[in-house]
Amino acid sequence: MGLTLDPYTDWIVVISAVIMTAATVALARYAYVTIEEGKKDRRKDTIEKQLENVYTPIYEILRLARDRGQPLDSSTWAVSKKELERIDKIIATFGHYFGRDDLERFRKTLQRGKEEPAYKETMLYQTAEINDAVQYIEKRRKDLMTELEELTAAPNSG
């Protein structure tokens, strides 16, 4: 009437099913971790490019401009026309890293410089004119550096 299987065969089937299920879960977990690490690596690469190609060079130009302008007046920034050309090239190449509104404000700020005959090939800015752009660059650079530090930090064990 009823067909009975060998008890060992039943256990083999059960054990095979458990092993296959465990292997499937392990494979899915491995795939998930690999995908997450890939996303993290891509984000890290993007941040490094932003810092290396955009925010750090512009930050350094603006820092030098502040230092160069200090002897003239504590609220004067002096940016050479070559530095402005370099910023323009950076923006032309990597402007997509800026938010659209931020990019427009930054460009308008740089257009506010005044030429002074005594300072050839240099545009002068007052702190009030350039401060928003400087603060944007400093904040964005700091935020990216913090995020990069978090991405490259060793995971907490706990």
* pLDDT band with cut points at 50, 70 and 90 for residue 22: very high
Q: Which domain holds residue 18?
A: 8-151
Give just the sign of the alpha carbon dihedral 60, 64, 65, 67. positive
- Give domain status of residue 1, yes or no: no
- DSSP string of 85-150, one letter each residue: HHHHHHHHHHGGGS-HHHHHHHHHHHTT-EE-TTSTTEEEEEHHHHHHHHHHHHHHHHHHHHHHHH
pLDDT digit string, tens, across residues 75-130? 888 899 999 999 999 999 999 998 889 899 898 988 888 887 777 888 888 888 88
Q: What is the pLDDT of residue 83?
A: 94
Most confident by average pLDDT, 6-15, 31-40, 66-75 = 31-40
- Give domain status of residue 95, yes or no: yes
- Give domain status of residue 158, yes or no: no
- Give domain status of residue 86, yes or no: yes
Calculate the CA 140 to chain-centre distance.
8
- Give the total number of structural domains in the chain: 1
CB 115 within 8 A of CB 123: yes
Q: What is the pLDDT of residue 158?
A: 43
Q: What is the DSSP letter of 76?
A: E
